[in-house]
Structure 1
Amino acid sequence: MVYFVGAGTGAVDLITVRGMRLLEQADVIIYTGSLVNPKLLTYARKDCEIHNSAKLTLEEVIQIISDAENEGKTTVRLHTGEPSIYGAVREQMDELDVLGISYESCPGVSACFGAAASLNLEYTLPGISQSLIITRMEGRTKVPDRESIKSFAAHKASMAIYLSAGMIRELSKQLIEGGYKETTPAALVYKATWAEEEAYLCTIETLYDVSVAHRITKTALILVGDAIAHQHYSKSRLYAPDFSTEYRKRKEFLRR
């Protein structure tokens, strides 16, 4: 059996309880060494066979899994964050389908949620934004034209931009051309929830200068949107005294 496990945002104790238990039970662990916190491997048994996939091709990863399966072993494929976001897991699953190898997924906490926790943010503030766009700049991996930074910027929603820390000058340009103001709040979060985390609040206009000043060119998340400043928003109607729900009746106030 193969388990695709999300390692979480970086902090060792932010992996799910299920993910931790799967690591403890695994006979073989293949982890994304370029991004996963290696301290998570302390959950593994001493006799566990461990492989760093940063040094492997897709074919080599599948071969390790296939060999383990033939020996009746349990494999954990440990991916950074939440595997369904930029995890390249579907191609592995397709290969396992061809081989008739069973697998399951265990979710993890993605970096944008770790960054929000570090900055005490709410992305969906009433009256400001009710959407979070998770996206990336086009690099070696192409992005469909309809999903360009510029096209998404037109919505002026909260945005979490992955895999783009080395292209911030162009990113800022596209955000502004798409519709955000230069003064729109932004944040640059390096290694969210890791011990070495760095987080800087700024604006779209100053994002590049902040990245240069702190020498951040990779392993960082860019957050954009008015929700980051958490100002001028409306309170949630859910807790308003004159709002009824399935669990609470509206409260009537006597006028004096």
Structure 2
Amino acid sequence: MTEESDPQDAIDSAGESKADALDPRVAEYTAGQKQEGIPFIGAGPGDPGLLTLTGKELVDEADLVVHAGSLVSSELLEEHCSHAELVNSVGKDLEELIPLMRDAYEDGENVVRLHSGDPAIYGAALEQIDALEREGVPAYIVPGVTSAFASAATMRTQLTLNEVANHVAFTRPQGKTLDPEDDHIADFVGMGDVTTCIYLGTHAIPETMDRLLEHEGVDPETPVAVVYHASWPDEDVMVGTVADIGEQVEAAGYRASAMVIIGEAATGSGYERSYLYGDWANRGGDGEGDAAEYPDDGKTAEPEVDD
């Protein structure tokens, strides 16, 4: 790529413009709508059935699918993308990926960029989108199911639970990308009512648990669930505590592709009945005020209340 189209220049320029005003397309489209340009699709955690309907329609129409290698299941690629040219993005930098997608799009091909999970979570999608749009190629995001949600479904639980978990933290452990001073896992876990979901950290589970054990505010008996390959045919689940889950993962030999969920919500224990189907639902009896009104259209719906 030429100096004028350097991806870093595109990222810097886009950052400056976004700080000044929202992209006008924000007001024109909602998530899930097909738009002009290259869609960045969340392929979901693995099971092809967890690909959204919009995502399926777009990959079914694709001529070129640039995908995230083994992070996207081969079953999904075979089922939905076998008709298209497939390009594995692993090992390719922006200087190679952007011209590849740009040229195909300008040649009239339907180009799809397929990310694992949801592009909004550790997807590195925005830098590609900004670089493409600097080249005159529009792009947009089609959301997918992230592995934390698939793991919660496997565990038959919720990430938020009344009187147990009021907050959810998506994070990653310290390493090459995250400096030790930016690692807040112990802070999240120590708060007690936070469900902490650790991405990109399978290889570091033992070391992460050791650091948690050294933190005064962390109870060693805090539940931990580790879901390897959530929704894949070889999915595996390990349940333990901060004190012992590291040994389990080491014994299993997993070094990648597992979601770590820390907190009482991981096992779905200890929660209280919600207000939504308890006191709130039974208040009054005359029917007045039983539904919250939308301010714009007069429709009614269940209000947003604590779960």
TM-score normalised to structure 1 length: 0.91
Q: Does residue 139 in structure 1 map to residue 179 in structure 2? A: no
Deviations 1:180-215 (A, max 9, x none): 210111111100000000011111111111102211
Counterpart for residue 115 of structure 1: 151
CA RMSD of aligned residues (A): 1.8
Amino acid in structure 1 at the alignment position of 2:274: S
Match of 1:55 among 91, 114, 136: 91
| 8 Å contact from structure 2 (residues 156, 268) kept in 1 | no
Amino acid in structure 2 at the alignment position of 1:154: G
Q: What is the SS of the residue equivalent to 2:41? A: strand
Alignment partners' CA distance in 1, 2:188 and 2:261: 13
Percent identity (aligned): 33
Alignment partners' CA distance in 1, 2:44 and 2:283: 37
Alignment partners' CA distance in 1, 2:39 and 2:267: 39
| 8 Å contact from structure 2 (residues 40, 140) kept in 1 | yes
Match of 2:166 among 127, 130, 134: 130
| 8 Å contact from structure 2 (residues 68, 90) kept in 1 | yes
Q: What is the SS of the residue equivalent to 2:162? A: coil
Q: Does residue 229 in structure 1 map to residue 267 in structure 2? A: yes
| 8 Å contact from structure 1 (residues 149, 178) kept in 2 | no
Aligned residue runs from structure 1 range 8-19, under 5 A: 8-19=44-55
How has the CA–CA distance of structure 1 residues 39 and 229 changed in structure 2, closer, same or farther, with 3 Å as cutoff? closer
Deviations 1:97-120 (A, max 9, x none): 211111121100000011011110
Alignment partners' CA distance in 2, 1:175 and 1:132: 18
User: Structure 1 residues 173-182 or 59-68, which shifts more?
Assistant: 173-182
| 8 Å contact from structure 1 (residues 153, 178) kept in 2 | no
- Consecutive unaligned residues of structure 2, counting only runs of 5 or more, are 1-36, 285-289, 292-300, 303-307
Alignment partners' CA distance in 2, 1:3 and 1:143: 32
Amino acid in structure 2 at the alignment position of 1:172: M
Aligned residue runs from structure 1 range 122-201, under 5 A: 122-143=158-179, 145-156=181-192, 157-176=194-213, 177=215, 179-201=217-239
Deviations 1:218-256 (A, max 9, x none): 1111110012232322100111153464168xxxxxxxx
Measured after TM superposition, the shift of residue 148 of structure 1 is: 2.1
Counterpart for residue 253 of structure 1: none
User: Structure 1 residues 110-119 or 161-170, which shifts more?
Assistant: 161-170
TM-score normalised to structure 2 length: 0.76
Measured after TM superposition, the shift of residue 178 of structure 1 is: 5.9
Alignment partners' CA distance in 1, 2:236 and 2:111: 33
Counterpart for residue 29 of structure 2: none
Q: Does residue 242 in structure 1 map to residue 278 in structure 2? A: no
Q: What is the SS of the residue equivalent to 2:238? A: strand
Amino acid in structure 2 at the alignment position of 1:159: T
Alignment partners' CA distance in 2, 1:94 and 1:144: 29
- Consecutive unaligned residues of structure 1, counting only runs of 5 or more, are 249-256
Aligned residue runs from structure 1 range 84-95, under 5 A: 84-95=120-131
Amino acid in structure 1 at the alignment position of 2:202: A
How has the CA–CA distance of structure 1 residues 54 and 128 changed in structure 2, closer, same or farther, with 3 Å as cutoff? same
